Amino acid sequence: MVTVTRFLLFTTTLLSPASAYRRHGKPTTQGIKWLEPERSVLVRLETPDLPLWNPQTRVGEDVPTALILNFTFTRDNRVLLLNDQPILPIKNGNVPPSLSAPQTLSGFEQRTPDFYDLSWFELDYYRGVPLSEDPNSRYNIWSPTLNIDILGAGIEGYNTLLQNDTQRYVRVAVDEIPPYQKYPYEKTISKRRYKIKDVTLEDRFPYQQFAAPDALKECRIWSWLCDDIPDFPYYHYVYRQSFDEYGKIGSLRHELHQRWGTLCERLGMWRVVLLLVVVGNMVLTPVFYGVYKCLRRLRSLHTRREVRYELLTAEETEDLLREYNQDREDEFTMDRLMTGLFTRDRPTVRTEVANDALKGKPLPPLPTESTESSSRGS
C-alpha cells in the first residue's frame, strides 16, 4: 500500500512537468452553429468541471456537460447580445452585465433544443476586448475581437469554478459594416453597425485567463473602482460575488453609491436632496464663518505690520531730518561766526512777536524817542 502511494506520487511529479509542455491547441469551430449568417450564432461550450444539474433531485451528476451561448446582434446591428444580455459594446462599465446560460448534455448539431426547458446557470466570466471600447471612442473602422471565458457557474446556490484547462474560451471577431466613416470621425462606436465575422473556440492554454476570485487583486475601500484595467470598461474578471447593482463590492465608488441608493430608497429622492441641502448648510456655514474669520485676522495682521513699518520709517525720517538740521545749523553758525554777524536774539524776538499776535496778545509798545533817550541817559 505504502509503495503504491509512493509510486503514485512519483508518477504525478513526473507527469506535471510533462503537462507543462502540452501544445497550444488549434482554434476550433466544433460545436458552433450559425442561426443567421453574420448576425446570430450558437456556441456549445464544453465544461468538463460542471456537473449535470438534475432539477428533480437537485444534485449534480458527474457527467461532462456543456453550456450554450447565443451570440446575436440586435436588429439594428448596433449591439451584440449574449443570451439576451448586451455584451458589446457595453454601456455601463461599472456594473458589468450578468450573464446566464442553459446547460445541455447533447449537441445541437441536428436540432436546436428548447432552451427554456433547460437548467439555466448564472455565469462568472472573463471578458476582454483588445481595442479600446470607450463609448466615446472614434475610430475610422472599429473591428474588435471579444474574448469570453466562462470561469464559473452557479445554480440555486451551488457554485462551481471552471478551471480545467481543456475548457475553451470563445473568440468573437466583429466587423464594422460599411460605409465607414471618414474624417473627422464624428460617430462614436455605439452609433455604428456591426456584424459577426468569425467565431472560434480557443485553447485556454498557455495564455489562460482563468484566475480564481482569491487569486485576484484584493478590493480595498481606498480604491475608487478596484479596476482590472485603468480604462473603460475597467473589469476583465466578473465574478458574481464581487459585483452587485452598485458596482464592484468593496470599492469606494460602490460604498458611496450603495449609501446613496439606500437613502433614496428609504426617503425618496427629493427628501434626500433636501436633507443634503440642510446638512450641507450645517456643515458649510461654520466652515465659511471660519474662513471669513481667518481672512479677517490675516488682513488685520497685515495692516498692523504695514502701520508698524510706516511708524518705523517715520521715526527714521525724523532722525534723518534731525541730523540734517543739525548739520545745517552747524554750518550756519560757522558762517555767522566767520562774518561776525552773530545776532542771535533778533529772529527769536520776531517769532515771539508773531506768536503773540496770533494769540491775540497786544503788541508791546514801540520804543519811543524819549524812552530811547532816557535809556541812553541812564
Q: Which of 30, 92, 140, 164 binds ligand NAG (CB under 6 A)?
A: 164
Residue 172: other Cβ atoms inside 10 A: 23
Q: Which of 38, 86, 115, 264 binds ligand NAG (CB under 6 A)?
A: 115
In this structure, are residues 109 and 165 in contact, taking their beta carbons and an 8 Å threshold?
A: no
In this structure, are residues 86 and 97 in contact, taking their beta carbons and an 8 Å threshold?
A: yes
226, amino acid identity: C
Shortest Å, Cβ 237 to ligand NAG: 21
35 vs 354, beta carbon nearer ligand NAG? 35
What is the contact mask toward ligand NAG in residues 58 to 87, using x (rule: CB under 6 A)? ------------x-x--------x--x---
195 vs 257, beta carbon nearer ligand NAG? 195
Shortest Å, Cβ 31 to ligand NAG: 13
CA distance 313 to 311: 5
81 vs 216, beta carbon nearer ligand NAG? 81
Half-sphere exposure of 346 (CA within 13 A, CB side): 3
81 vs 219, beta carbon nearer ligand NAG? 81
166 vs 333, beta carbon nearer ligand NAG? 166
In this structure, are residues 144 and 134 in contact, taking their beta carbons and an 8 Å threshold?
A: no
149, amino acid identity: D
In this structure, are residues 225 and 236 in contact, taking their beta carbons and an 8 Å threshold?
A: no
72 vs 242, beta carbon nearer ligand NAG? 72
Assigned C-alpha cell, 275 = 436633507
Shortest Å, Cβ 268 to ligand NAG: 35
Shortest Å, Cβ 178 to ligand NAG: 24
84 vs 352, beta carbon nearer ligand NAG? 84
36 vs 316, beta carbon nearer ligand NAG? 36
Residues in contact with ligand NAG, counted by CB under 6 A, come to a total of 11
Shortest Å, Cβ 91 to ligand NAG: 17
Check binding of 104 to ligand NAG (CB under 6 A). Answer: no
Shortest Å, Cβ 164 to ligand NAG: 4
What is the contact mask toward ligand NAG in residues 24 to 63, using x (rule: CB under 6 A)? -----------x----x-------x---------------
Residue 342: other Cβ atoms inside 10 A: 10
Nearest to 101 by CA among 148, 164, 140, 61: 148
The site for ligand NAG (CB under 6 A) is made up of 35, 40, 48, 70, 72, 81, 84, 112, 115, 164, 166
